[in-house]
Structure 1
Amino acid sequence: MYTRGLSQANIVVSLAFGYGGLVQLLAGMWEMAVGNTFGATALSSYGGFWLAFAIVLTPGFGIGKALEVTDAEGRITDETALLNSMGLFLMGWFIFTTILLICTLRSTVAFFLLFFFLDLTFLLLGISYLVRPNGGQYVAVQKAGGLFGFLAGFAAWYNALAGLVDNSNSFFIVPVAHFPWSPTGRSRRSKTQRELA
């Protein structure tokens, strides 16, 4: 989002390798061990996304350099291949996230919003690389993608808090708003109707 004048993703590399990559990948494996297929698929896949993203951003791997065209003095003259590659990479994750978004329709509003915001993040960031009105990245769309990424991060932490707190360790419960058609929403609705009868 270019907040506080930051335009380079350098600090993201360490987080992408460590927290976003390794920790999510491990969490996905633990989810598989307890039989949560959705959690295992989502966490492992996004762990893989962050590891792949970190590899692309790490100069030692030379991926960005291999996709750039430079002149005899080493100045970048054409980034089209790099921008198109990043755009297609992010669009692939948009498609995957859309599939997971559909799977959240029977859960909670909070969980749905997490994947909805994440889906918009991938879509807008992908567009920002693929649609280049002045030859470079579409900054306004990139900033909008960053904003939805921020909202996705907030929703992820909100869902994490909702999953952690209960009557044994907290004085409050975090509301997650079950969809009326979800199993929990239907059971709560039918229980209320019986109590009224």
Structure 2
Amino acid sequence: MSNEQAVARFSNPAPLGLAGFALTTWLLSMINAGWFTGDAMNMVLAVAMAYGGTAQIIAGIMELPRGNTFGTTAFVSYGAFWWSFALFVLFLHDKVPGAFVGWYLFMWGVFTFYMWLGTLRAARALQLIFLALWITFFLLAAGEWTGMAGLHTAGGYVGLLTALLAFYLSAAEIINDGHKRVVLPVGAPS
């Protein structure tokens, strides 16, 4: 059996991973943007562990037999991000200085920046997700370092945009596959 035939036996895990990422990012970004207070964080944590974390890691593992290094790296990494975020908020948030939290967010921004570079020959929708996400991380990191609430709020709004883009690509992959034609365009690869 050829590699293409083997890959054809596996479903595309990207819509699952993108949806898990999008939903969790949307919920947290609503808090970051100031739409809700930190009292809503418990719902974010539950979704971060179950959908943003676990479902993305499953999607990343499903990318392995497909030979998709980018998909594996992205989904497993951001799934682990959500788990680390949930564990931090639940157990460690009062034990870590804000400046160090800024470094945590900044380094996720660095990772996301080079992942964005990896999308430059992919569909435009994927490029836009990673572009918006690294801007989100950098705004949130700058907010932690400076204490400027406006940067944190801006990071929340760019996070909302990131989530919408990820929902769109997830929907496009599901709907286009179901209709066996392009219903929702994702932008041709470069």
The answer to whether TM tops 0.5 is yes
TM-score category of the 2 structures, normalised to the smaller one: 0.7 to 0.9
SS at match of 2:64: helix
C-alpha spacing 1:173/1:14, structure 2 compared with 1 (3 Å) = same
Q: Which amino acid aligns with 2:62?
A: W
Shift of 1:111: 1.0
TM-aligned CA deviation for residue 171 of structure 1: 8.2
Report the CA distance between 1:6 and its aligned residue. Answer: 2.1
| Structure 1 alignment gaps of length 5 or more | 68-80, 133-137, 183-197
- Code of the residue aligned with 1:65 in structure 2: it is D
Secondary structure at the aligned position of 2:176 is classed as coil
TM-score (structure 2 length as normaliser): 0.77
| Amino acid in structure 1 at the alignment position of 2:58 | L
Query: Does structure 2 retain, via aligned residues, the 8 Å contact 1:97–1:119?
Result: yes
1:91 offset after TM fit, Å? Answer: 0.3
Query: Does residue 180 of structure 2 align to residue 148 of structure 1?
Result: no
Q: How many residue pairs get matched?
A: 157
Q: How much does 1:11 deviate?
A: 2.0
Larger fraction in helix? 2
Determine whether 1:46 maps to 2:72: no
- Match in the other structure for 1:10: 42
Query: Matched residues in 2 for 1:167 and 1:112: separation?
Result: 20
Give the 4+ runs in structure 1 shifted more than 4 A: none
Q: TM-score, normalised to structure 1's length?
A: 0.75
Alpha-carbon contact 1:117-1:151 (below 8 Å) kept: yes
User: In structure 2, what is the Cα distance between the partners aligned to 1:110 and 1:166?
Assistant: 14
Q: Percent same amino acid among aligned pairs? A: 33
The CA RMSD measured in Å over matched residues stands at: 1.7
Question: Which of 112, 115, 120 is the matching residue for 1:97?
Answer: 112
Alignment of 1:21-170 (within 5 A): 21-58=53-90, 61=91, 63-67=92-96, 81=97, 83-132=98-147, 138-166=148-176, 168-169=178-179
Deviation at 1:139, TM superposition (A): 1.2
